[in-house]
Amino acid sequence: MRQHQKSYGVKTVAACLLLLVGTTAAAEYADIILNKLSEKEGMRPVIFSHWFHRIRFQCRVCHNELRFEMRVGSTDVNMDDISQGKFCGACHNGEIAWTTENCDLCHTGAPGLSTGVRGGHQTLGPGIW
Amino acid sequence: MVGSKLCAPLTLSLGVAALVAMLAPAPYASAADPNAFNRLMTPPSKRNPPPTEDGIHDPKSTGTQGLQTPREAFDPLPKAQSGNYIDWVKSFDEQKIQPRFDRNDPKAKPVIMDLTIVREVKGSMPDVVFPHKQHTEWLDCSNCHPALFVPQKGANQMSMASIMLGESCGVCHGKVAFPVADCRRCHNQAKGKPAPTKTSAVSKGKK
């Protein structure tokens, strides 16, 4: 009887953990993590909220005029370029949007994230394909 | 005898648990129930989570706490069944959002090309109607041509498999634009029917 209860307890804990793991990977669709340089330089990874920016700008502004490649991670973006008004710095200049002095508004990622598009599919489990 | 001693507190605790379950709002099918409905689907309550709970932002960062939540931003926008759960095309058409064509000039407008391309598909799905209109409202020609699609009829071989692997349409659809699970948004032209050449002819007289 007691052994039974114990094994149920273990199962419940395992199920709770599973639930926790299942609910944590729920990034917004099209959230983009940029971590090619950030953590190497001692900063949190950058999370670019694609959904937030597309409300304000058409795709072509960033993916044509600002020279962001369509493939995530294929454009090297560093702070020098940004402060010279390239890439993010074209808008994050204190006129269109807040300046790059607000480091922690972009560098918000949890440690250890790899560069890529997140939030992918509707399912929390394995891909439906 | 021993059994009844054990049973009394057990029954009591079960009763309390049942009462708590009745008072609390019905929880969404949890992972604890292996036979729950829609086991892998994101329940509406879990969609568009705030940055502090989405698992990729560092909730300890003060910056994270200052970010806008997707739910707040999406509240006034027309809803859809997948992706961000927002119908971005409709949001644009109804002018619920006015994404800038030029980053400095809010009044600059894109040159829109209203030409639909019908792709006859091999399988049993309806044919694909590609509307240039909705795409040129957001994108520049050079975003797609000629790197992703050669602007010539019949020159672009593609399959759903390659799209799902992130090629051709899959460069955007499935990552930032509505996902390929929304089959009928592309496969929407019944086979054998003459296809319209302009989106405006299909979109019920809009604009």
The pLDDT tens digits for B30-71 are: 556 888 887 777 788 888 999 999 999 999 999 999 999 999
Q: Which of B139, B175, B178 is the best mutation test for A, with the most CBs of A within 10 A?
A: B175
Residue with tokens 């980053």: B103
Indicate the pTM of the whole model.
0.78
DSSP character for A113? P
| Together in a domain, B87 and B146 | yes
**What are the residues whose beta carbons fall under 8 Å from the beta carbon of B180, sequence distance 6 or more?**
B160, B163, B164, B169, B170, B173, B174
CATH superfamily membership of A27-117: Cytochrome C3 (3.90.10.10)
* Chain A contact present for B164, CB below 8 A: yes
Structurally, chain B folds into a number of domains equal to 3
The partner residue sitting opposite B83, judged by closest CB among A29, A59, A124, is A29
A100-105: average pLDDT: 94
Q: Which whole-number Å values give the CA distances from B34 to A16, A39, B37, B187, in the listed order? A: 13, 39, 9, 35
Which residue ranges of chain B lie beneath pLDDT 50? 1-8, 10-12, 14-29, 203-207
Q: Is B64 within 8 Å of chain A by CB?
A: yes
| One domain for residues B159 and B199 | yes
Judge if B120 and B62 occupy the same domain.
no
Same domain, B41 and B56: no
Note whether B131 and B173 are same-domain residues: yes
Same domain, B25 and B88: no
Among B4, B7, B56, B138, pick the best mutation site for testing chain A contact (most A Cβ within 10 A): B56
Query: Does the pLDDT at position A119 exceed 80?
Result: no
Q: How many helices (H) and strands (E) does chain B have?
A: 9, 3
Reported ipTM: 0.77
CA distance B24 to B72: 26
Q: Which residue range(s) make up the domain with B106?
A: 83-207
Q: Kindly state whether residues B8 and B103 are assigned to the same domain.
A: no
Query: Using the beta-carbon criterion (under 8 Å), do A55 and B97 form an inter-chain contact?
Result: yes
Question: Could B54 and A44 be called an inter-chain contact, meaning their C-beta atoms sit closer than 8 Å?
Answer: no
Q: Exposed, middle or buried: residue B114 (CB in 10 Å: 0-12, 13-18, 19+)?
A: middle
